[in-house]
Amino acid sequence: MKKNTARWWAIWAVVLVVYNVIVFAVPFPKNTVFFLSWTFTMLAIAAQWYIVRTAFYRGEGVKSKFYGFPIAKIGVMYLAAQLAAGLVFMALGLAAAVPVWIPLILYVVLLGAAAVGLISTEATRDEIARQDTKLKKDVSCMRTLQSKAMAMVPLAKDASVRAALEKFAEDIRFSDPVSSAALEAAESDLSACIDDLQQAVLDNDQEAALSLEKRAEMLLAERNRLCKLEKRAAH
């Protein structure tokens, strides 16, 4: 991260220095249009500091940084457009007088478009990150139950119990993993049944294990039925 930060600052400094050397070395007329163009371009260069930090240094994890690329892209596009427009109007000053209102309106439009794009893209990134977090939380219950079911299989000493547990583990594996408030009670009953089943397997109680496995299958089927009904209602 520190190396990437150093590279970013190096690129930012190069752009800043090269731009200023060019505009002050070339004999552009130092009039109102020149300084207006220079001011808005310097603003665009300075804005990259905030844009890059917002895109890649806010939030945690690889996904958060990946979602920051569209934000950085808008910043780069704005900077490129402002650099080009500013240099063009400075160059036009060598041939003829340019009304100040023309570049002023263009620069303000570019700045406004960039601001709107950044705000909307950042809001989209935040919403995607929020949905990712919510999804991880929503699937955690079924993933835990699946893990428990799979862990019981090698513990079963009886062949019939082991076969039943393998089938149950497969059924959970192919169940919809997304939980919701409407499924909370069904999943709570299923979780309690799996805990009892796990204890029966550890106690090598074949009769209890087979009975609890059948009950767990019924509870899982009911949970999946409710899940399908909820999704149909949502659509």
Tokens of 80: 């490129």
- pLDDT(109) > 90: yes
Decide which of 172 and 3 is more confident: 172
List, in order, residues 6 or more apart from 169 with CB less than 8 Å away. 146, 149, 150, 152, 153
- pLDDT(59) > 70: no
Over range 67-93, report the average pLDDT: 90
Q: What is the pLDDT of residues 178-196, one digit of tens each?
A: 888 888 899 899 999 999 9
Over range 2-27, report the average pLDDT: 86
* Helical ranges in the chain per DSSP H: 2-25, 32-56, 62-66, 69-92, 101-152, 159-173, 184-202, 206-234
pTM of the model: 0.59
Q: What is the pLDDT of residues 128-161, one digit of tens each?
A: 766 666 555 577 888 889 899 999 999 998 899 9
- What is the reported pLDDT for 2? 61
Could you tell me the pLDDT band of residue 1, with boundaries at 50, 70 and 90? low
Could you tell me the pLDDT band of residue 56, with boundaries at 50, 70 and 90? confident
Which residue is associated with the tokens 């079924």? 142
CB 169 within 8 A of CB 149: yes
Which residue is associated with the tokens 């570019």? 110
- pLDDT(62) > 60: no
Over range 41-52, report the average pLDDT: 91
Rounded-to-integer distance, Cα 193 and Cα 231, Å: 25
Could you tell me the pLDDT band of residue 55, with boundaries at 50, 70 and 90? confident
- What is the reported pLDDT for 92? 92
Q: Identify the CA nearest to 157 among candidates 105, 111, 103, 209.
A: 209
